């Protein structure tokens, strides 16, 4: 009997010992040093573009750690620590890497802040006029040269399949279509894919996706192909021009990636802002949120699009046009579509 | 005595409710443990050698900084077959295998593309049940201790940095079905209760329920330490 009890106690004791072995791995101290180390380690283990950023920007993440550790002192304030941490993550030049505190959002938006905007809201709105249609996140109208125009400012809330089908049915008599994607900062990939799926009649390879499988900088899964399937609703069969600028980011960048693979689509404007890493969130001991790129998407040639996609036709805003309240990019897109419509037998 | 079925085919059904402390870690969502409160609901039907148990728990916990909440829930169904190992006087020991299905999830209210973590497992556990009858103050009491230790099975887990978009929209699976064993699932459920008669047929149970559930799958760590004070009745 005693022996049996002893065995039972051994089993319980062993299990309790095992039960103490799945714990936290990151620094837990809520101190300036602890938070900076936790931020560095979290990104070191989970960020997905280190090799690419090293090749393109020369970022040595270990050197970054050493440099920024020296800027942290035990008595610094939260605001000072936030500034140092933001400067550290800004080294990655990734719009998907953010530090979130109750008083500020740490970010690096140099991908568009240091670049020409190529968009004037009041001018673009004048092209829509007052009688434009609204279908979820899409605003649309028909120009007097019978060119359809869709303004898509975001993929946060829609559009859905029904919205796109309805809009394309209404614009079907048009000779060509402009999708103005400028300043679209992204949203849901599903919404971006939904819109793009109305511009193909067949399944098309549009890129590849892969993710991290471990803490090493090169621990990645195999690349899995990503296909664009034709939508079940109305599908556009004529020429399309997609207007882009540097603020087309994340899901908007992904939309451009997909549209770039389609035969009747012309990309016009400026290079997109990039942001091809799907972001995840984690946190620091002090409660600040950390957003970082975790899943990599590349184009159909397996090339990175983290820093954007070049247009087929590079066009910038002309200041003379701006003075005349004309949008150079929209005007150029209309010209291309009119020419292509005339070339069509 | 009223806690255990004494005759063949006779069964005892018990209902437990409880509440206590939760400590939840899931590194897919956060590198830090969230601490808070758990509520339990357990229904157990005990035959002479067979035991069916359905349990539900919900926990609400917050991060160390106290600015984010995490919600966890889980539903488990287990069926055990207990062999009589020892019966000596007032002491009774049974043990055997237990099939165990668990479905649950954790939701972090702040995260964007990784807001939650789904939990699904089908396990074969080692299960044991010990009872000891005694009299005190001219009344019959019974001490009961039960323990289940997951032994082997299958469990679902996302890959280290895999998104649910890849899994469920694109259909890209990557080692999402994991073979669970004591080295990557060092877990146990244990319960200690005292029962005492209320009236002729009524019984009241009072005790402790502990669920120490841990996994290390695909480089992701998870633990749910749930400690509850439970109160039960015979149905």
Whether residue B111 is contained in a domain is answered as yes
Note whether A39 and A30 are within 8 A (CB): no
For position B94, which CATH number holds?
Answer: 2.40.128
Q: Locate the chain B residue with the closest alpha carbon to A207.
A: B170
CB contact under 8 A, A281 and B114: yes
Whether residue B95 is contained in a domain is answered as yes
**Separation CA B23–CA A269 (nearest Å):** 52
Strand-pair category, A265-269 with A240-244: parallel
B136 contacts chain A (CB < 8 A) = no
Interface test with B, best of A7, A20, A21, A22 (most B CBs within 10 A): A22
The Cα angle at residue A113 between residues A110 and A118, in degrees rounded to 5: 130
Which chain B positions have a beta carbon within 8 Å of A15's beta carbon? 149, 186-188, 212
Local structure of A58: helix, strand or coil: coil
Residues 6+ apart with CB under 8 A from A321: A327, A328, A331
Helix (H) or strand (E) holding A343: helix A328-343
Report pTM: 0.92
Task: Using alpha carbons, select from A292, A305, A308 the residue that is nearest to residue A90.
Answer: A292
B219 contacts chain A (CB < 8 A) = yes
The pLDDT-based confidence of B138 (bands split at 50, 70, 90) is confident
**Separation CA A101–CA A172 (nearest Å):** 47
Local structure of A214: helix, strand or coil: coil
Among B residues 64-83, those touching chain A with beta carbons less than 8 Å apart: 64-68
**Separation CA B43–CA B54 (nearest Å):** 5
Query: Count of domains in chain B?
Result: 1
Note whether A327 and A124 are within 8 A (CB): yes
Residues 6+ apart with CB under 8 A from A114: none
Share of chain A residues as helix, strand and coil, in percent rounded to the nearest 5: 35, 20, 40
Note whether A182 and A328 are within 8 A (CB): no
Q: Residue B41 belongs to what domain range? A: 12-234
- pLDDT per position in chain A (345 positions), as tens? 566 566 666 666 665 565 556 777 777 899 999 999 999 999 999 999 999 999 999 999 999 999 999 999 999 999 999 999 999 999 999 999 999 999 999 999 999 999 999 999 999 999 999 999 999 999 999 999 999 999 999 999 989 999 999 999 999 999 999 999 999 999 999 999 999 999 999 999 999 999 999 999 999 999 999 999 999 999 999 999 999 999 999 999 999 999 999 999 999 999 999 999 999 999 999 999 999 999 999 999 999 999 999 999 999 999 999 999 999 999 999 999 999 998 876
Domain A121-277+294-343 has CATH 3.90.226.10: yes
pLDDT at position B189 is: 95
Q: Locate the chain A residue with the closest alpha carbon to B113.
A: A280
Tokens of A213: 């499988």
Interface test with A, best of B32, B108, B161 (most A CBs within 10 A): B161
Local structure of B27: helix, strand or coil: coil
DSSP alpha helices (H): ranges in A91-187? Answer: 110-113, 121-128, 161-171
Neighbours of A129 (CB within 10 A): 9
CB contact under 8 A, B130 and A8: yes
Helix (H) or strand (E) holding A10: helix A2-18
Whether residue B135 is contained in a domain is answered as yes
**Separation CA B114–CA A215 (nearest Å):** 17
Note whether B163 and B152 are within 8 A (CB): no
Note whether A226 and A243 are within 8 A (CB): no
- Encode pLDDT of B13-63 as tens digits: 999 999 999 999 999 999 999 999 999 999 999 998 999 999 999 999 999
Strand-pair category, A176-180 with A147-152: parallel
Which chain A positions have a beta carbon within 8 Å of B162's beta carbon? 211, 221, 295
Which chain A positions have a beta carbon within 8 Å of B65's beta carbon? 30, 283, 285-287
Which chain B positions have a beta carbon within 8 Å of A295's beta carbon? 161-163, 165-166
Note whether A261 and A240 are within 8 A (CB): no
CB contact under 8 A, A295 and B163: yes
Residue A86, strand partner residues: none
Which chain A positions have a beta carbon within 8 Å of B167's beta carbon? none
**Separation CA A192–CA A270 (nearest Å):** 19
Task: Using alpha carbons, select from A333, A39, A189 the residue that is nearest to residue B165.
Answer: A189
Tokens of B134: 């005694």
Helix (H) or strand (E) holding A191: helix A189-196
Sign of CA dihedral A180, A182, A187, A189: positive
**Separation CA A53–CA A91 (nearest Å):** 9
Whether residue B19 is contained in a domain is answered as yes
**Separation CA A243–CA A183 (nearest Å):** 10
Residues 6+ apart with CB under 8 A from A226: A205, A206, A207, A208, A209, A297, B170
- Encode pLDDT of B147-183 as tens digits: 999 999 999 999 999 999 999 999 999 999 999 999 9
Residue bearing tokens 């049940």: B129
| pLDDT, averaged across chain B | 93
Return the number of CB contacts < 8 Å for A and B: 143
Distance from CA of B191 to the nearest CA of A (A): 12
Tokens of A106: 């740490």
């Amino acid at each position: 009997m005693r022996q049996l009890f002893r065995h039972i106690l051994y089993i319980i004791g062993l299990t309790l010992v095992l039960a103490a072995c799945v714990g936290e791995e990151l620094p837990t101290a809520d101190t300036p040093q602890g938070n900076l180390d936790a931020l560095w380690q979290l990104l070191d283990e989970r960020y997905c573009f280190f090799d690419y950023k090293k090749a393109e920007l020369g970022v040595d993440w270990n050197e970054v750690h050493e440099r920024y550790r020296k800027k942290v002192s035990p008595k610094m304030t939260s605001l000072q620590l936030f500034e140092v941490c933001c400067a550290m993550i800004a080294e990655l030049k990734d719009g998907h890497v953010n530090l979130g505190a109750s008083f500020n959002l740490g970010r690096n938006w140099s991908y568009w802040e240091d670049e020409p905007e190529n968009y004037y809201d009041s001018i673009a709105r004048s092209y829509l006029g007052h009688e434009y249609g609204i279908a979820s996140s899409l605003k649309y109208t028909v120009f007097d040269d019978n060119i359809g125009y869709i303004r898509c400012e975001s993929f946060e809330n829609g559009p859905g399949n029904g919205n796109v089908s309805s809009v394309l049915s209404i614009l079907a008599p048009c000779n060509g279509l402009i999708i103005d994607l400028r300043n679209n900062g992204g949203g849901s990939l599903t919404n971006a894919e939904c819109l793009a799926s109305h511009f193909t009649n067949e399944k098309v390879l549009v890129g590849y996706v892969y993710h991290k499988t471990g803490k090493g900088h090169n621990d990645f899964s195999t690349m899995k192909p990503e296909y664009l399937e034709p939508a079940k609703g109305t599908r556009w069969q004529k020429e399309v021009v997609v207007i882009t600028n540097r603020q087309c980011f994340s899901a908007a960048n992904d939309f451009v990636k997909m549209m770039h693979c389609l035969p009747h689509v012309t990309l016009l404007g400026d290079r997109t802002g990039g942001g091809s890493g799907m972001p995840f969130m984690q946190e620091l001991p002090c409660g600040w949120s950390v957003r970082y790129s975790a899943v990599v998407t590349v184009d159909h040639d397996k090339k990175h699009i983290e820093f954007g996609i070049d247009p087929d036709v590079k066009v910038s805003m002309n200041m003379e046009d701006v003075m005349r309240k004309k949008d150079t990019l929209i005007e150029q897109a209309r010209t291309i579509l009119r020419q292509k419509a005339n070339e069509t037998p | 005595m009223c806690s255990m079925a004494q005759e063949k085919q006779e069964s005892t059904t018990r209902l437990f409710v409880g509440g206590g402390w939760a400590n939840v870690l899931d590194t897919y969502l956060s590198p830090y443990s969230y601490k808070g409160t758990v509520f339990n609901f357990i229904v157990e039907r005990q035959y002479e050698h067979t035991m069916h148990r359905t349990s539900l728990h919900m926990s609400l916990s917050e991060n160390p900084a106290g600015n984010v909440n995490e919600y966890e829930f889980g539903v488990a169904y287990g069926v055990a077959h207990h062999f009589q190992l020892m019966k000596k006087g007032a002491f009774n020991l049974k043990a055997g295998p237990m099939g165990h299905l668990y479905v649950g999830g954790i939701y972090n209210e702040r995260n964007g593309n990784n807001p939650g973590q789904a939990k699904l497992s089908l396990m074969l556990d080692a299960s044991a049940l010990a009872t000891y009858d005694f009299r005190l103050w001219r009344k019959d009491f019974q001490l009961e201790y039960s323990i289940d230790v997951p032994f082997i099975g299958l469990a679902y887990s996302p890959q280290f940095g895999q998104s649910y978009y890849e899994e469920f929209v694109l259909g890209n699976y990557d080692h999402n079905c994991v073979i669970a064993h004591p080295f990557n699932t060092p877990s146990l459920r244990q319960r200690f209760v005292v029962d005492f008669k209320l009236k002729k047929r009524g019984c009241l149970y009072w005790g402790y329920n502990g669920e120490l559930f841990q996994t290390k799958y695909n480089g992701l760590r998870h633990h749910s330490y749930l400690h509850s004070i439970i109160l039960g009745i015979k149905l």
